[in-house]
Structure 1
Amino acid sequence: STSPVPASGGPGTVAGTGDVLRFTVRDSGDPAYDGTYELRCHPARGGHPAPLRACGALDRAEAEGKEPFRAVPSGAMCTMVDGGPATARVTGFWHGRAVDAEFSRHNGCEIDRWQALVPALPRVR
């Protein structure tokens, strides 16, 4: 038996039973994505612009072992390419684990990390 995960959010949130994420996206160039909204998965719903596809992208990344919310390790060798000003912060709970992740597009590693979560994060051109 596992210990319950503390609930995040308001009424209706049950400890350990939901994948509930809050996204804050800035400067993506896509007005449907810029802003703050909630995504709930299993079943997919919430204010995210594409909840079903977003949950699918997160599930795929997790299944492929990409640990979608892990930061780029310090000291990683990354190409020095700027993918634009877009940023995102994701907080909440995913698969029973607390999430507090920041995303940018400031080098090749960060861009790859971002791309692995499209369309949970917006496709940036």
Structure 2
Amino acid sequence: MAPLALALSATAACAGGEPASPASDDSVSPTHSTTEPSPSTSDSPTAPAPTDDTTSSAGDGTPPTDAPDDPETRLTITVTGGDRSGAEWTLTCGPAGGDHPDSAAACEELAELSPEAFAEVPEDQPCTHIHGGPEAAEVSGTMDGTEIDTEFNKSGGCEMERYENLGPVLEP
């Protein structure tokens, strides 16, 4: 049940009314579910049916592979201001790699964040007008399947916070 439908159902129940039936939402993909096999009268063991995240290998006993061919995260970081201006690194995570000076720490930081950390500051966001330094960087690539193409700087309070949230990624 979707969180909104669950909240509406709980609200209706508290108000003494009937719980609302959840609306159909075709944009939500179904979650994986497993079905218990029906009882069998046969003495022979049965194999479970393959799920969406496994691949069938025509019964040859070969285990499915779930390792992706490409890293989950692949970013190019170009420093455009500050002491390291002109530096460019590639960072891959899942596994950590690339020529980033500290890819392990950068990947640990990214594991704590979501691609939203790369979202630009909204134009109507109130921010302090202080200058935090000349540091600036451009980041492009993908993180967990999300396309990233953004710039970071320290030209104001909101931009400084955004820059500092990616500390080990932008300033190894």
Please report the TM-score for the alignment, with normalisation by the length of structure 2. Answer: 0.56
Compare the two structures and name the one with the higher helix fraction: 2
Residue of structure 2 in register with 1:110 after alignment: 159
Residue of structure 2 in register with 1:92 after alignment: 141
Q: Is the 8 A contact 1:26 1:34 kept in 2?
A: yes
Residue of structure 1 in register with 2:113 after alignment: 61
Residue of structure 2 in register with 1:83 after alignment: 132
**Unpaired segments ≥5 residues, structure 2:** 1-51, 53-68
Secondary structure of 1:67's aligned partner = helix
Residue of structure 2 in register with 1:23 after alignment: 77
Q: What whole-Å deviation, never above 9, does each CA across 1:65-108 have from its counterpart, x for those lacking one?
A: x8211000111100011011111110011000111011010000
Rounded to whole Å, the distance in 2 between the matches of 1:67 and 1:23 is 17
Larger radius of gyration: 2
Q: Is the 8 A contact 2:89 2:100 kept in 1?
A: yes
Identical aligned residues as a percent: 34
Runs of 4+ in 1 over 4 A off after TM superposition: none
Q: How many residues align?
A: 106
Residue of structure 2 in register with 1:49 after alignment: 101
Letter in 2 for 1:50: D
Please report the TM-score for the alignment, with normalisation by the length of structure 1. Answer: 0.76
